[in-house]
Chain A
Amino acid sequence: MNLPTMDRRVAVKKLLDARDGALVVTGLGSPSYDVHAAGDRNDNYYLWGAMGGAALIGLGLAQAQPGKRVMVITGDGEQLMAFGSLATISVARPKNLDLIVLDNQHFGETGMQSSHTGKGIGFDKVAAACGFSKTAELRSLEEIDTLCEELRRPADGPRLFVLKITAENLPRSLPPRDAVEVKNRFRAHLGFATC
């Protein structure tokens, strides 16, 4: 059964065009490329490694900046490595943290091996069971427009949205790999010194 999927770059561009001041953290691999392709910015924090870290960096950031919305954009493989983070985030219950899982049901960086999410694991259902305040699975760009409206509204707790995207390797749009520079410019954006 082939259910519809959406173009990842277009979906991510729509979310970022509507970010409205949100701070963005990206999971390693294609989600970092997707966010970079929409325009490099100082308030993007890209990961090139630390697999399983994206959602949790988002949690620490959301707790440190309760007045700003934080959007984590990561892939199904990266989030699978942080399965327990959904419990940790749900218990922490930040009201300003949204997780966007770009789900192509494959490990795209390593040769498109199939992942757990194509075999019955739905992160929207897992997050709902953990107690996230809002979760959904989306399959069309029209639904992304609705999601952008949803994300503007205040939340009672963390939210997670699974975007079912087409499994394809698009031309890479590489963010800077100097991790210190990316960290420092992000902090400078918030008005903090480098050290």
Chain B
Amino acid sequence: MTASVEAKYPQAAALAAAPAASEKQWPDQVYDVLKAAGISHMSYVPDAGHTTLIRRFSADPEVVTNVLTTEEEGIAIAAGAWLGGKRSVVLMQSSGVGNCINMLSLPVQARFPLLVLVTMRGEWAEFNPWQVPMGQATEASLKAIGLRVLRAETGPDLVETVAQAALMAFDADQQIAVLIGQRLLGKKKW
């Protein structure tokens, strides 16, 4: 982290240094680290695993939020936000990653900072077989188009991973997806 960024977002360094997140607290702590990283813009296609983040960002008067019709919209919106000086995060489920592939050529080719949080389906206690193909292809697809892919399987690991991914995205011009393991999210209740 550069001195200027540290000065601008003083909490980021502290939060990046391994906060102790319990399994219950991680959604609120992910919100806290994103805020500390200077995120003031968010776009999403809903997923149950993103419920807390969507609720907290939507209630935050300092954050502009967009609900999307399809996930690739968020990739383009995030690029526009960066052009205009805002740091944006995109929330989606793994099934939406496939929708994004060609649009990801924009941040990859123009080197726009990009931070995407992906809740995983089709990989752990999945009862819906239709979720499995894209779930299994998610990481390979993202890597194929040129994103850096990180994964977390526990709450504390996710909080730490998101904090440092935000730093890498916005301070090092990287395009990063953080995959949130289905094992962490738990079995979908019907």
B64 CB → nearest A CB, Å: 5
Q: Is B105 an interface residue (CB 8 A)?
A: yes
- Residues of A near B76 (CB, < 8 A) are 50, 52-54, 56-57, 60
Q: Chain B residue with minimal CB distance to A53?
A: B76
B31 CB → nearest A CB, Å: 20
Contact between B70 and A91, CB atoms less than 8 A apart: no
Residues of A that sit less than 8 Å from B by CB: 23, 25, 45, 47, 49-54, 56-65, 82, 84-85, 87-88, 91-92, 179-180, 182-183, 186-187, 190, 192, 195
A54 CB → nearest B CB, Å: 8
A38 CB → nearest B CB, Å: 20
Q: Chain A residue with minimal CB distance to B78?
A: A60
Interface bracket on B: 20 to 34
Could you list 29 examples of A-B contacts with CB < 8 Å? A45-B83, A50-B76, A52-B76, A52-B103, A53-B79, A53-B103, A56-B77, A56-B80, A59-B66, A59-B80, A60-B78, A60-B81, A60-B83, A61-B80, A62-B80, A62-B84, A63-B84, A64-B82, A64-B83, A64-B86, A84-B69, A87-B69, A88-B67, A180-B110, A183-B112, A187-B83, A187-B85, A190-B84, A190-B85
B62 CB → nearest A CB, Å: 13
A119 CB → nearest B CB, Å: 23
Q: How many inter-chain contacts with C-beta < 8 Å in the A-B complex?
A: 114
CA distance A60 to B105 in the complex (A): 17
State which of A49, A51, A85, A190 has its C-beta within 8 Å of the C-beta of B109.
A49
Chief secondary structure at chain A's binding surface:
helix
State which of B68, B83, B109 has its C-beta within 8 Å of the C-beta of A88.
B68
CA distance A180 to B85 in the complex (A): 15
